[in-house]
Amino acid sequence: MTRLEMLQHCCQQEPQDPFNWYALATEYRKYNLDEALPYYEKVWTDFPEYIANYYHLASAYTEKEEIEKAKNVYEKGLKIISKEKEPKLWQELHNAYQNFLFENDLL
């Protein structure tokens, strides 16, 4: 069984575990961004509290030059991640967002 097959199996067995979908998206991304994107979007829609997904979904949208979608993901992620409860995660996403704004002439 390949890693991809194993992750697909995990998603079928435990569809309510956001990590399974996120891991599947990340594995697909190694080979094909277009295959990965629907899984990152699923995590975004079904599990909005899954913090790790925000950077990767925004990055995927940026890579596909879907700048407004990426901006929206960054902004929603920064609202969901508590600056007080998760300062390091918030700062990392904030820094990525600032770089994104600069690189896309949105400042």
Give the model confidence (pLDDT) of 43-62 as tens digits.
999 999 999 999 999 999 99
The answer on 18 and 5 residing in a single domain is: yes
The answer on 98 and 82 residing in a single domain is: yes
pLDDT band, very low/low/confident/very high, at 74 (cuts 50, 70, 90): very high
Q: What's the whole-number mean pLDDT along residues 62-71?
A: 97
**First-residue to last-residue Cα distance in the chain:** 47
Q: How many domains does the chain have?
A: 2
Query: Tell me, what's the pLDDT at 1?
Result: 83
The answer on 34 and 59 residing in a single domain is: no
The answer on 38 and 23 residing in a single domain is: yes
Query: Tell me, what's the pLDDT at 39?
Result: 98
Residues of the domain holding 67: 51-107
Query: In whole angstroms, what is the distance from residue 60 CA to residue 64 CA?
Result: 6
The answer on 57 and 31 residing in a single domain is: no
- Dihedral of the CA atoms 15, 72, 78, 50 (nearest 10)? 0
pLDDT band, very low/low/confident/very high, at 42 (cuts 50, 70, 90): very high
Q: Which helix (H) or strand (E) holds 17?
A: none
**Average pLDDT across the chain, whole number:** 95
Q: Which one of 26, 50, 74 terminates a domain?
A: 50
The answer on 56 and 106 residing in a single domain is: yes
